[in-house]
Amino acid sequence: MNLAIDVGNTRVKAAVFEGDKLLVIQYFKREEIIIELKKIFKTYQIKEAIIANVASVSSEVLEEINNIVRLTRVNSIMKLPFINKYATPHTLGLDRLALVFGAVLKYENQNTLIIDAGTCITYDFVDKENKYFGGAISPGLEMRYKSLNHFTSKLPLLEVAIPNQFVGNSTKESIHSGVVNGLLQEIEGVISQYKNKYSDLTVVLTGGDTNFLSKQLKSSIFANQNFLLEGLNRILIFNNNK
């Protein structure tokens, strides 16, 4: 069994795989990573583990995990199944690198746009020749709500919600309409831009806000909230089969 670990901005996601089958996902705080991983190791016979986004994890923690099970760390110099055309590969987020890695292995020789809707919205494009060019980064849903509250004196901080109507008839409804509809129009617009150039485009939507956004998007997409974790597992399988 393999263990895929994604260290996010607020929490850690750890997924157990048997081959390419996802068995279970655990969520916990970053400071609990060793305690919670030890529970997983006791429950499942983990042979290998892989971790992304290690910037917020100490070297001592990584070494402790590696003492329990062989640990692969996603990094910018690892062998890739695609040509990295990013102008500054050393600045490319490891979560974005892992998403593209997983997309190439799943959708080989396809024009693919991966949209990760989390704290930030990231867009990453790889063409059918398996060349990765980059994409875009913009604020995520919660960040947009928080920015309206933080940078104004009177606008309230609201929970994410689907607008009741397109034209907001109150301050709260206007915020929901502006934030949610604004982001949906952004995503639809970006997809349209890529489809204008690449008509045979595969679009993957992933990240924490996948379920909320996918129900409202009109474009044809593959919605998979666990695409990053699955991609990490594919990296392990790929490395073992080289």
Reading the block at residue 8, the tokens are: 């996010």
Say whether 86 counts as a known binding-site residue: yes
CB atoms within 10 A of CB 167: 8
What CATH code is assigned to 83-232? 3.30.420.40
Q: Which residues pair with 202 in a beta bridge?
A: 112
Dihedral of CA 76/61/29/102: which sign? positive
Evaluate whether 233 touches 15 at the Cβ level (below 8 Å): yes
**Phi/psi of residue 200, nearest 5 degrees:** -95, 60
Evaluate whether 2 touches 233 at the Cβ level (below 8 Å): yes
Evaluate whether 205 touches 117 at the Cβ level (below 8 Å): yes
What pLDDT score was predicted for residue 171? Answer: 93
Nearest-angstrom CA–CA distance, 145 and 227: 25
Topology given in CATH for the domain delimited by 2-73: Nucleotidyltransferase; domain 5 (3.30.420)
Q: Which residues are catalytic?
A: 95
Say whether 179 counts as a known binding-site residue: no
pTM: 0.88
Say whether 20 counts as a known binding-site residue: no
Indicate the burial class of 104 (C-beta count within 10 angstroms; 0-12, 13-18, 19 or more).
Answer: buried
pLDDT in tens, 70-119: 998 887 777 788 999 999 988 888 888 889 988 998 898 899 999 999 88
Reading the block at residue 9, the tokens are: 């901005």
Say whether 95 counts as a known binding-site residue: yes
Q: Domain residue spans in the chain?
A: 2-73, 83-232
Q: Does this chain's domain 2-73 share its CATH topology with 83-232? A: yes
The series of mean pLDDT values per 10 residues for the chain, 242 residues long, is 87 91 91 91 93 78 89 82 89 88 90 94 95 95 95 93 88 94 95 93 92 88 91 86 66
Say whether 127 counts as a known binding-site residue: no
